[in-house]
Amino acid sequence: MPLEKTQPEQDPEDAKICRLQDLVGYHLRRASVFDLQGAVSALEPANTRPVPMSVLLSIIETPGISSAEICRALGMQRANIVPILAELEERGLFLREADESDQRIQRLFPTRRGEEEAAAWLALVSEHERSMLRRLTAEEQTELRRLLAKIWQEDGPKQG
């Protein structure tokens, strides 16, 4: 009988990771950097970047959201969203409205122009994703997204 492989000397659960390529985290980082570079390039003609796009999409998906809520959803610091909102506001892509019952809070609403821009930005990024994922079947793409979400999303019913 052909001996293609010797038996693992231990419980497979204890299989030693000994190369960089064995680490899922290494592939995560490489793939994420690859994606980010492509997304930045794809958004260049629209004169925006991935984080501002994510912020605008948050406003569109949840009209009336506050900046603090966006930061919690996207996992970013409140301090860092300030210049991003300032630029999106200057471009007329959303409006701020004081909350009636809590004067600390600004509720953010997309403008018509904001919705149009966001749709255009999404189209650019979608085309980049199609290229990035071209070696994956539709099923593999869905599975990849599902597995990635299981890594970073909370256990509970929460989502962000």
Partner DNA sequence: TATTGTTATACTCTATAACTATA
Partner DNA sequence: TATAGTTATAGAGTATAACAATA
CB < 8 Å & 24+ apart, contacts of 46-51: 46/117, 46/120, 46/121, 46/124, 48/121, 50/125, 51/76, 51/84
Residue 113 binds DNA (CB under 7 A): no
Q: Return the biggest CA–CA distance within the chain.
A: 79
Mark residues 82-101: x for contact with its own copies by CB under 8 A, - for none.
--------------------
Residue 126 binds DNA (CB under 7 A): no
Q: Which of 58, 35, 32 is nearest to 125 (CA)?
A: 35
Residue 85 binds DNA (CB under 7 A): yes
Residue 68 binds DNA (CB under 7 A): yes
For residues 95 and 108, give the distance between their C-alpha atoms in angstroms, rounded to a whole number: 6
What's the number of CA atoms in the CB half-sphere (13 Å) around residue 2? 1
Residue 57 binds DNA (CB under 7 A): no
Residue 113 binds: one of DNA, its own copies, none (C-beta under 5 to 8 A by kind):
none
For residues 128 and 43, give the distance between their C-alpha atoms in angstroms, rounded to a whole number: 9
Of 2-10, 18-26, 61-69, 151-159, which part binds DNA (CB under 7 A)?
Answer: 61-69
Mark residues 14-33: x for contact with its own copies by CB under 8 A, - for none.
--xxxxxx-xxxxxxxxxxx
- Residue of 46, 49, 54, 105 that binds its own copies (CB under 8 A): 54
Residue type, 105: I
Residue 141 binds DNA (CB under 7 A): no
User: Of 2 and 12, which has the nearer Cβ to its own copies?
Assistant: 12
Which run of H or of E encompasses 44? none
For residues 98 and 104, give the distance between their C-alpha atoms in angstroms, rounded to a whole number: 8
What are the residues binding DNA (CB under 7 A)? 33, 40, 49-51, 66-69, 76-80, 82, 85-86, 101-106
